[in-house]
């Protein structure tokens, strides 16, 4: 992020012209800095996208938790049975005995 710091930016040409000292593996050059900056910006984009994904997931889970704890939604077992009934109706609308059994199970729980 040397582009934001003029004092560091002034030191780049000096560092580029200085020979590598013993024990150092990499030298900084004018061509390596833009590549490093591009890589850092790309990594920042990936991290930002991941943070947004995690925020959406957390928000969804917190919303479901608050909804179930508030008592506004149907109890879990009734909700599961209703989903099962809907699934059975979509997949096999011509089998009334399966639907009747599912409805009977739902009525017993309420």
- What integer pLDDT is reported at residue 27 of this predicted model? 63
Phi then psi for residue 34, to 5 deg, are -60, -35
With 0.75 as the threshold, say if the pTM is over it: no
- List the pLDDT tens digit at each of the 110 positions of the chain: 555 677 777 777 777 667 666 666 666 677 788 888 899 999 999 999 999 999 999 999 999 888 878 877 666 677 788 888 888 877 765 555 666 676 777 667 65
CA distances (Å), origin 108, targets 54, 74, 76, 101: 40, 15, 15, 11
Q: How many CB atoms lie within 10 A of CB 16?
A: 14
pLDDT of residue 9: 75
Distance separating alpha carbons of residues 58 and 66, to the nearest angstrom: 12
């Amino acid at each position: 992020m040397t582009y934001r710091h003029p004092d560091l930016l002034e030191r780049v040409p000096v560092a580029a012209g200085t020979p590598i000292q013993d024990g150092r593996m990499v030298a900084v050059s004018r061509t390596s800095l833009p590549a490093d900056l591009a890589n850092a910006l790309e990594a920042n984009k990936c991290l930002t996208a991941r943070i947004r994904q995690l925020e959406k997931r957390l928000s969804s889970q917190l919303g479901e938790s608050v909804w179930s704890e508030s008592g506004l939604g149907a109890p879990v077992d009734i909700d599961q049975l209703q989903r099962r009934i809907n699934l059975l109706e979509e997949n096999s609308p011509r089998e009334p005995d399966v639907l009747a059994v599912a409805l009977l199970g739902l009525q017993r729980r309420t």
